[in-house]
């Protein structure tokens, strides 16, 4: 047991009542979960309904070694179930029908509502019937472009109820990105809202969808139906005048209002029993080659994993109120706003707004309003709130808090300590949860009652997860050291394939080190065995918790007719974690001017989304290339932070370029 000064022990009271209350207990259960996954997960599976039972002797089978045949991961093959039934009907049958599933808190503090498990089921069934009326069957893909309104979880669960596959596109993506994703999965139907407020900004989501539907058409894919939630009229407008100019076009042959469709829909719908390995949803994530990957998750294993990680990592107890601030458009929202909490019959807060509206104490106000006991957010949000000092936090009691979660990127110790001391009053455990869209749920994380915390370390693997560090040659690093973070065996919630592209799944995750799932992250193990995620080892970067590849941004920049070449690197950013620093070589005889810079920023916003907007675009009449033509990115990273200590550049074709780049810094 480590005994360093920079170690924070879990609060005694919290530890005593926690599901896992000592480190020794964690170690024992962990050992069992690795050595006998069928026993460990079989115990979890018992609490759920399986229409066709699972077979413990054939609970889990897999191949991680590409040289032995196709990669495959299967849990509970042969069993059948329905995840919506397990989240709703089962909890209602267990007497929780009147329990609140969601407190909905709107962008404006005057807008809020609540939904019980019983009412949620009724709405889900009605919408499931609407989907069926529009010809949606088992296996069909339904795309979403939605704000954080109750219709979003309702429609997701409606898909799950009839075995349709939801594909949520975060409503901050551009129409191009939405079109590309709808085309890739050949979506039959799109669900959106007329618009949404983000603080005082009014977004016309339907307009973006109209453009995306047209663009999908150009790509050769026709989306038959678009269902639109009328949201703007029912909420408080932070700026009335913006509503006066707000309008949406509805196309007779394609567009339908949610409320019209729901009016006569039957409030019951028999669940479609699906195989444990049938797809539940897909969610796109950036790939290092540019094209987004449709990460596919299946039903049975995901249910086990989402429910167990939620319960244990947040130590969720029946009377707790839990709040995850993530948008459902990201995996965090899928697993820890929707599936994990509902699988446990939990009560959650679902928040539509931003941390800064109407004031920068909104998070803390909401925590007190609903008496939140578990709060889960991202380091970038913590850092942006720290900037306002302690007083917005200290205006609120926050006495109900017990566990504070962090997700999406490494949390720097300074932000960790602020979260721990100012928000958590040194009483709450911090769970720094490392995971990915691909992993489906937490894979490396402290447990709140059991793990002594080190600020900035995600610490130890969750049950069933076996991390290893490998060196460049694929040799395992035992004990202290740093290397590639890989996993040597599957856990129930991991992705099964890239939608429609199993080869890409195999080459992205399983080809670098045969026999292992490769995360793309580096990690260090310290003398106490704690794991510290050191960041991406590929050309991916993480801006405010949004993962993107340098290649995809470069591809957009070079689309511009005045640009000859582009190279993008990550630069540390005090709030966003990382930001985009772009080097642009204009075409011959073209000048590099402010107009070009502005056009490039707009282009990236349009093609990818506003969150991908570069912070810096610099003129680079030449890029630092080796004689073989490879761009030396480490030099560009040095230029981005104005560090002249560039190291060995003797392999560059033209060393003078380096001085020129420093001289050109804006
Ligand atoms: C990448 C995955 C996990 C859901 C949200 C992001 C980074 C995530 C942590 C953490 C250090 C983290 C990794 C990972 N990351 N959580 N606690 N500490 N890094 O999902 O978009 O699939 O991104 O985010 O680099 O690979 P994602």
pLDDT digits (tens, 9 = 90+) for 466-491: 999 999 999 999 999 999 999 999 99
Q: What angle do CA 410, 494, 188 make, to 5 degrees?
A: 105
Q: How confident is the model at residue 6 (pLDDT cuts 50, 70, 90)?
A: confident
Distance 519 CA to ligand 1 centre (A): 10
pLDDT score at 1: 44
Q: Provide the whole-model pTM.
A: 0.92
- Give the closest residue (by CA) to ligand 1 atom 19: 409
Ligand 1 atom with the shortest distance to the CA of 331: 4
Q: What top-level class would CATH report for the domain 544-664?
A: alpha beta
Pick the atom of ligand 1 nearest to 326's CA.
5
**Given this model, what pLDDT does residue 202 score?**
97
Residue from 168, 309, 405, 434 to probe ligand 1 pocket by mutation (most atoms less than 8 Å from CB):
434
**Per-residue pLDDT at 3:** 43
Average pLDDT of the segment spanning 54-62? 96
Q: Kindly give the number of the ligand 1 atom that is closest to the alpha carbon of 520.
A: 26
Residue 547 CA, closest ligand 1 atom number: 21
CA–CA distance, 454 with 531 (Å, rounded to integer)? 10
Strand order of the β-sheet with 165-168 is 255-257, 225-229, 189-193, 141-145, 165-168, 279-285, 293-298, 497-498
Question: 367 C-alpha to center of ligand 1: Å?
Answer: 25
Q: Whose CA is nearest to atom 17 of ligand 1?
A: 434
Which protein residue has the closest C-alpha to ligand 1 atom 1? 436
Report how far ligand 1's centroid is from the alpha carbon of 442 (Å): 10
The predicted pLDDT at position 405 comes to 98
User: pLDDT-derived band of residue 540, with 50, 70 and 90 as boundaries?
Assistant: confident
Task: Give the pocket of ligand 1 (CB within 6 Å).
Answer: 285, 330-332, 407-410, 432-437, 458, 519-521, 533, 536, 542, 545, 547
User: Model confidence at 602, in pLDDT bands (50, 70, 90)?
Assistant: very high
pLDDT at 2 over 60: no
Question: What are 40-50's pLDDT values in tens digits?
Answer: 999 999 999 99
Ranges of each domain in the chain: 544-664
Question: Residue 329 Cα, ligand 1 centroid: separation in angstroms?
Answer: 15
Distance 69 CA to ligand 1 centre (A): 29
Please give the number of the atom of ligand 1 that sits closest to the Cα of 330: 5
Question: What pLDDT score does 269 carry?
Answer: 98
pLDDT in tens, 7-30: 999 999 999 999 999 999 999 999
| pLDDT for the residue numbered 324 | 98
CA of 433 to the centre of ligand 1 (A): 8
Nearest CA to ligand 1 atom 8: 408
The Cα–Cα gap between 364 and 339 comes to: 25
* Residue nearest atom 12 in ligand 1 by C-alpha distance: 409
The rounded distance, in Å, linking the Cα atoms of 399 and 397 is 5
Which of 445, 446, 542 for mutating ligand 1's site (highest number of atoms within 8 Å of CB)?
542
Name the residue of 283, 436, 543 to mutate for ligand 1: max ligand atoms within 8 A of Cβ. Answer: 436
SS3 314: coil
Three-state SS at 597: helix
3-state secondary structure 45-99: HCCCCCCECCCHHHCEEEECCHHHCCCEEEECCCCEECHHHHHHHHHHHHHHCCC
Nearest alpha carbon, ligand 1 atom 20: 436
Centre of ligand 1 to C-alpha 312, Å, is 19
Whether pLDDT at 39 is above 60: yes
Q: Which atom of ligand 1 is nearest to the CA of 545?
A: 6
Q: Which of ligand 1's atoms lies nearest the C-alpha of 435?
A: 3
Q: What average pLDDT does range 451-471 have in this prediction?
A: 97
Task: Report which protein residue has its CA nearest ligand 1's atom 7.
Answer: 409
Cα 545 to averaged position of ligand 1 atoms, centre (Å): 7
What is the average per-residue pLDDT within 588-609?
93
Q: What single DSSP character describes residue 10?
A: P
CA distances from 424 to 79, 367, 413, 416 (A): 43, 12, 15, 10
Q: Is the pLDDT of residue 240 over 60?
A: yes
Q: Which residues partner with 298 through β-bridges?
A: 279
Is-contact 386 415, C-beta < 8 A?
yes
Tokens 């047209």 belong to which residue? 214
Q: How many CB atoms lie within 10 A of CB 266?
A: 12
- The residue whose CB lies within 8 Å of the most ligand 1 atoms, and thus the one to mutate among 408, 486, 539, is 408
Q: Which of 438, 523, 533, 538 to mutate to test the pocket of ligand 1 (most atoms within 8 A of CB)?
A: 533
**Residue 433 Cα: closest atom of ligand 1:** 17
What ipTM goes with this model?
Answer: 0.99
User: How high is the mean pLDDT of the chain?
Assistant: 95
Helix (H, G, I), strand (E, B) or coil at 578: strand
Has residue 517 got a pLDDT over 70? yes
Q: Which position has the higher pLDDT, 648 or 107? A: 107
Give the rounded percent of residues in the chain with a pLDDT score beyond 90. Answer: 89
pLDDT of residue 5: 58
Nearest CA to ligand 1 atom 14: 436
Cβ within 8 Å of residue 489, ≥6 positions away: 34, 37, 62, 64, 466
Q: Within 10 A of 597 (CB to CB), how many other CB atoms are there?
A: 18
pLDDT in tens, 357-415: 999 999 999 999 999 999 999 999 999 999 899 999 999 999 999 999 999 988 988 99
Cis peptide before 358 (omega within 30 of 0): yes
Ligand 1 geometric centre to CA of 536 (Å): 9
Q: CA-CA distance, 463 to 537, in Å (whole number)?
A: 25
Residue 288 has pLDDT above 80, yes or no: no
CA of residue 313 to ligand 1 center, whole Å:
16
User: Residue 268: left if φ>0, alpha if ψ -120 to 50, beta else—which one?
Assistant: beta
Provide the pLDDT confidence category of residue 550 given band limits of 50, 70 and 90. Answer: confident
CA of 469 to the centre of ligand 1 (A): 17
Q: What is the C-alpha to C-alpha distance for residues 389 and 394, in angstroms, rounded to an integer?
A: 10
User: Quick one: tokens of 562?
Assistant: 């005045």
Ligand 1 atom index nearest CA of 519: 26
* CA 521 – CA 538 distance, rounded (Å): 8
In this predicted structure, what is the pLDDT of residue 286?
A: 83
């Amino acid at each position: 047991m480590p005994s360093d000064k920079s170690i924070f022990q879990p609060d005694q009271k919290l530890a005593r009542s926690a599901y896992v209350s000592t480190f020794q207990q964690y170690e024992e259960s962990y050992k069992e979960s690795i050595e006998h996954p069928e026993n460990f997960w079989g115990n979890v599976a018992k609490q759920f309904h399986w229409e066709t039972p699972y077979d413990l002797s054939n609970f889990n089978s897999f191949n991680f070694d590409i040289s032995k045949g196709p990669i495959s991961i299967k849990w509970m093959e042969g069993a059948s179930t329905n995840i919506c039934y397990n989240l709703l009907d089962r909890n209602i049958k267990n007497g929780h029908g009147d329990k609140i599933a969601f407190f909905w808190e709107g962008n404006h503090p005057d807008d809020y509502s609540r939904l019980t498990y019983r009412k949620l089921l009724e709405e889900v069934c009605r919408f499931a019937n609407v989907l069926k009326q529009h010809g949606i069957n088992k296996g069909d893909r339904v795309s979403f472009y939605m704000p954080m309104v109750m219709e979003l979880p309702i429609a997701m669960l409606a898909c799950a109820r009839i075995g349709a596959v939801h594909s949520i596109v975060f409503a901050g993506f551009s129409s191009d990105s939405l079109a590309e994703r709808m085309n890739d999965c050949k979506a039959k139907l799109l669900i959106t809202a007329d618009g949404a407020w983000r603080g005082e900004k009014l977004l016309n989501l339907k307009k973006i969808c109209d453009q995306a539907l047209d663009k999908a058409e150009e790509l050769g894919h026709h989306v038959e139906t678009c269902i639109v939630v009328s949201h703007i009229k029912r909420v408080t407008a932070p700026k009335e005048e913006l509503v006066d100019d707000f309008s949406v076009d509805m196309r007779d042959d394609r567009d339908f209002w949610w409320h019209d469709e729901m009016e006569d829909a039957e409030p019951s719908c028999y669940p479609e029993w699906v195989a444990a390995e049938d797809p539940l949803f897909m969610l796109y994530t950036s790939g290092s080659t540019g094209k987004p990957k449709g990460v596919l998750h299946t039903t049975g294993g995901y249910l086990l994993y989402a429910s167990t990680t939620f319960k244990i990592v947040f130590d969720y107890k029946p009377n707790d109120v839990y709040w995850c601030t993530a948008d459902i458009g990201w995996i965090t929202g899928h697993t820890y706003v929707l599936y994990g909490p509902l699988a446990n019959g939990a009560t959650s807060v679902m928040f539509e707004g931003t941390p800064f509206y109407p004031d920068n104490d909104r998070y803390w106000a909401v925590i007190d309003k609903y008496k939140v006991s578990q709060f889960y957010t991202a380091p970038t949000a913590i850092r942006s709130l720290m900037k306002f000092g302690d007083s917005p936090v200290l205006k609120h009691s926050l006495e109900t808090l017990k566990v504070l979660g962090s997700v999406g990127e490494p949390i720097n110790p300074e932000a960790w300590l602020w979260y721990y001391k100012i928000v958590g009053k040194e009483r709450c455990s911090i769970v720094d949860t490392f995971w990915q869209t691909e992993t489906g749920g937490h894979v490396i994380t402290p447990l709140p009652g059991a793990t002594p915390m080190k600020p900035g370390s995600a610490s130890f693997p969750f049950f069933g997860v076996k991390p290893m560090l490998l060196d460049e040659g694929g040799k395992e690093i035992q004990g202290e050291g740093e290397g590639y973070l890989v996993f040597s065996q599957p856990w129930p919630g991991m992705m099964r394939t890239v939608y429609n592209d199993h080869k890409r799944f195999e080459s992205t995750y399983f080809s670098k080190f045969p026999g292992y799932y490769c995360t793309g992250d580096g990690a260090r193990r310290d003398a106490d065995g704690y794991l510290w995620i050191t960041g991406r080892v590929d050309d991916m970067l993480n801006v405010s918790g949004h993962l993107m590849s340098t290649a995809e941004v470069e591809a957009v920049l070079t689309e511009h007719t005045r640009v000859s070449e582009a190279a993008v690197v990550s630069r540390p950013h005090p709030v966003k974690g990382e930001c985009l620093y772009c080097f642009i070589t204009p075409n011959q005889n073209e000048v590099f001017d402010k107009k070009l810079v502005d056009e490039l920023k707009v282009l990236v916003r349009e093609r990818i989304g506003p969150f991908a907007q570069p912070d810096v675009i610099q003129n680079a009449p030449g890029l630092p290339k080796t004689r073989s033509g490879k761009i030396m990115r480490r030099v560009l990273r040095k230029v981005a932070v104005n560090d002249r200590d560039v190291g060995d550049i003797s392999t560059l074709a033209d060393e003078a370029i380096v001085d020129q780049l420093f001289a050109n810094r804006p």
